[in-house]
Amino acid sequence: MLGGFGAVMMGRGNQRPHPARPVRTRRARRARARARECVLATPRMAGKHQPIKPVAETIAAFRSKNLDGMLEEGYQALFRQVIRQLYLRVATHKSRVFSSPTMSIPIKAHPNDISNTGNEVAKRLGKTIFPAFKEKVRDLPLVMDPSSLKNDSSSWFEAVLNHLIQIDEMLEEIDASNIMIWRTWRPNQDEKPSVHHLSMFLGKRITYQTEELLTGPFCTLLIACDKFFLGPNGSPLPSPTEYGLIDEKWDQLAKLSTSTINDTDALIQWIQKPKLSLAKEEWQELVEEVEYLLRSLDKHLHPALHQPYHGHESGSDEDIETLNATGLKFIKAGIPIVKLIRIFFNKLSRVSTYPHLVFSDPSLEMDAEVFMRLLVSTHDTQSYLHQYSNELKSSPNHRRALVDEIINVQGCLVDCWHGIERYWDALLVKKDCQVDQGVIVDNRVWLESWTTAWFLATTNAMLATGCQYPWPDPDDEPDTEEDDDDMAAGFMMFNGRFGGHGPFGNFEDEDDDEDEDDDEEEDDDEEDEEGDDDDDDDDDEEEDDDDEEEDDDDGDEEDGPGKKA
């Protein structure tokens, strides 16, 4: 339904963005391996997308058949079956969340009832559900203390089974909360941002980290429980005389419980982070996405430098399509746009950069509505940037589509910096003595410099397409393979906030004439690439200057963000 954790409908143009790539950490890979181990160790008691049978029902059924009590062997068998039901719930958590039949059922609630909104569900997870789960995990080694097992095995098993019922109920609450997050999320919610909405970034991060917790340390804890009554060779312990082995396993169980508690604490603390800290993580994720796109564009620009060595081909390597001179020209013109987006969001996300664009002090917080719109614009930027990058790398390129995507990306960035400017204006209106007006002045100077470079880069990229404004009829638009001489009339750019930006410099045709022989095409390509490489180097130098300017500020320490020293 949601295409994994990815595709989300954005407000601008009602188009789905490129799915965000999950971070493939070593820890995440170990978690997925443990999840597979759980599945392999679990009997097929339920289908992948079927509801998990509650542990309470399984235990109640056994108890109803053994009213006079069970032998220890029967209790051990029931214990392992219950543990494996918990395995199944944990290992299939993600797939069941997104295949839940309730996902598409509308939530009927009073307009003023916000209890089931995404933001409130996330708060409950951080304040109530995960803390309760943590306590159940903390108590598990206490309940399974083998010293009680030696004295009264029946009472020991009954207490452990009751505790496992409670753990299963907590896992069911975690499942239901993650399902509710995605039930309340709507593709068009960004058209009317609300403080009660949970952003796509936070929703998928909560789901990712929940899965890592359950299929990571907690799954390892369950595996240790499953082997609690097994000897070194995997066979059941024959008699209580071998309870010494259980003592050793109980010590290991206590250590695994502590590991699960620590990871749960980390998840709780992350959910309860200040909204600006979470936003900085989201902006940093976008910076990483931009870095990935730049590497991808560079591969298409210089495919010969990125050919895999013989015998080292990887299935994850991107297919590099050979582009003609026109396609290479479009990529060279588009790279400055992508780099400027990286600079902008890197400035927003970096904690140590001074001056900050958005201040973290509670008295200097951004208005909630303005903040939500800034996050929406961030999502839109990520979406349209991927679409623009894909359009750049496709052959033959469609000129109109390239310009459309540039306009879309530009609109998102305009929304971003206008929101930040409104935030600065609001701080100045407050006339708070804690507001350092000099910092805001410095921020405006930086932003004006950046926007000037931005309008220059976007205008040059539009000029490179040779399209005219207003648009001609689609049937009249020449294909990219044709000569561009008749289309080099320039592109009319709208007036930016720093004045009108018309054509910057002359547009030079770099397309190859299909009627020329191969030798002339090769010579033209070499000349074009040399000239464009010089331009690209200039862009890189300009960006490096900006990055150096930011890096110089990294070392500065401040008494408080946005405050006077």
pLDDT tens per residue across span 59-95: 999 888 876 767 888 899 999 999 999 999 999 988 8
Look-up of token digits 């564009």: 297
CB 336 within 8 A of CB 461: yes
Q: Where do the structural domains in the chain lie, given as residue ranges?
A: 26-105+116-272, 278-306+320-554
At 142 the pLDDT is: 94
User: Rounded to an integer, what distance in angstroms lies between the CA atom of residue 260 and that of residue 509?
Assistant: 62
pLDDT digits (tens, 9 = 90+) for 275-304: 888 888 888 888 999 999 999 888 878 765
Q: Which residues is 495 bridged to in the sheet?
A: 500
Q: Which residues is 236 bridged to in the sheet?
A: 230
CB 83 within 8 A of CB 161: no
> Nearest CA to 374 among 189, 550, 190, 188?
190
User: Rounded to an integer, what distance in angstroms lies between the CA atom of residue 83 and that of residue 79?
Assistant: 6
At 317 the pLDDT is: 47
What amino acid occupies position 340?
L
Residues of the chain short of pLDDT 70, as ranges, are: 1-50, 67, 69, 101-116, 185-197, 233-243, 303-321, 351-354, 395-397, 468-565
> Nearest CA to 382 among 17, 15, 23?
17
**For the chain, how many residues are written?**
565
What amino acid occupies position 78?
L
CB 478 within 8 A of CB 354: no
CB 363 within 8 A of CB 432: yes
Q: Is it true that the peptide bond before 274 is cis, omega within 30 degrees of 0?
A: no
User: Rounded to an integer, what distance in angstroms lies between the CA atom of residue 373 and that of residue 300?
Assistant: 34
CA atoms within 13 A on the CB side of 218: 32
User: Rounded to an integer, what distance in angstroms lies between the CA atom of residue 134 and that of residue 137?
Assistant: 5
Q: Is it true that the peptide bond before 22 is cis, omega within 30 degrees of 0?
A: no
> Nearest CA to 301 among 315, 283, 321?
321
User: Rounded to an integer, what distance in angstroms lies between the CA atom of residue 347 and that of residue 376?
Assistant: 18
Could you tell me the pTM of the whole model? 0.66
Residues 6 or more apart whose CB falls under 8 angstroms from that of 7 comprise 16, 17, 19
At 114 the pLDDT is: 59
User: Rounded to an integer, what distance in angstroms lies between the CA atom of residue 129 and that of residue 123?
Assistant: 9
* Three-class SS state of 496: strand
Residues 6 or more apart whose CB falls under 8 angstroms from that of 353 comprise 347, 550, 553, 554
At 57 the pLDDT is: 95
Give the DSSP H or E segment for 500: strand 499-500
Q: Is it true that the peptide bond before 51 is cis, omega within 30 degrees of 0?
A: no
For 108, the token pair is 């009927």
User: Rounded to an integer, what distance in angstroms lies between the CA atom of residue 33 and that of residue 212?
Assistant: 11
> Nearest CA to 254 among 213, 223, 221, 231?
221
User: Rounded to an integer, what distance in angstroms lies between the CA atom of residue 404 and that of residue 407?
Assistant: 5
What are the two backbone dihedrals, phi and then psi, of residue 486, each rounded to the nearest 5 degrees?
A: -80, -5
Alpha-helical runs (H) found in 125-242: 130-143, 146-151, 153-184, 200-213, 219-226
From its phi and psi, is residue 227 left (phi > 0), alpha (psi between -120 and 50) or beta? Answer: alpha
At 104 the pLDDT is: 63
User: Rounded to an integer, what distance in angstroms lies between the CA atom of residue 213 and that of residue 178?
Assistant: 14
User: Rounded to an integer, what distance in angstroms lies between the CA atom of residue 388 and that of residue 458?
Assistant: 12
At 519 the pLDDT is: 45
For 19, the token pair is 């799915």
CA dihedral 82, 83, 84, 89 (to 10 degrees): 90
> Nearest CA to 175 among 214, 139, 117?
214
What does the H/E/C string look like for 233-255?
A: CCCECCCHHHHHHHHHHHHHHHH
